[in-house]
Each structure stands twice: as C-alpha cells, then as structure tokens.
Amino acid sequence: VNNNPSQYKIRLSGTVKTPKLNFDPPFLMLMPVPLDVETETDLNIIPQDYLRQSRIHVKLPEIELEDGDRIYPFSVQFPEGQDVVLPSDGKNNQLICHISFRSSKPVSLLGNLCFADEEEN
C-alpha cells in the first residue's frame, strides 16, 4: 500500500441467513362444517432475516373429488397487507393471514398451503 512492498492479508468471514417464515400456530385444524358453510381462522406469519421488502403469496391446494371435479375450497386474505416491511428497528413486521374453507360437496383432506416470497423462500 502506498508503494510499500509489505503484503497485507485480510480475512473476511460472514454468515448468510436465508429469509424464512414462521407461523403461529404452526399448523391449523379447521372444524368440520355443513356443506356450503364457511369455517375460518387467522394465522400469524412471522418473517425472519428479511433484509429488504418482499411480498408474500400463497399457493392454495386444488382438491380432486370422487366424481373427478376439481375445487379450490380454501381462500386467503391478508387484512393488513401481505408485504414484509423493514421498520427502523430492524425487526420484520408480523403479518395476519385470514384463511377460510367452504365446499358445496363433501370433502375431507389433509393438505398444505404453501407460503412464499418473490424469491420463492
């Protein structure tokens, strides 16, 4: 440095954290209801290690019935928005997700709702 023939070595180390989503509660059981009656609940989504704003989206399961029909009995709403926002204190905001189920045909299932951000985390 500055025409000095001495050599300098710099060692850098770091940890890369992948953004992830935690859920409260970690799983849901919706109550059985009569046909065409809606059952619903709220889910808290807790983002962790997000370094920039991101939008959460949901892939809802398609259900194939015994008669071959396909339905999407779940619906999802984010009443306060679905963006992960970084506040000034560095902690990610908690998102509320309203999940509902309704079917006009008898169905019983165990399925996954897949929550992901724009980068598929």
Tens of pLDDT, residues 14-38 = 888 888 899 999 988 888 899 999 9
Give pLDDT, residue 90: 66
Q: How far is CA 23 from CA 5, 17, 42, 83, 94, in A?
A: 56, 18, 11, 16, 10
The pLDDT value given to residue 14: 84
The pLDDT assigned to 52 comes to: 84
Q: What is the pLDDT of residue 8?
A: 73
**Domain extents in the chain:** 20-116
Low-confidence stretches of the chain (pLDDT < 70) are 1-6, 90
| pTM confidence score | 0.77
pLDDT at 92: 72
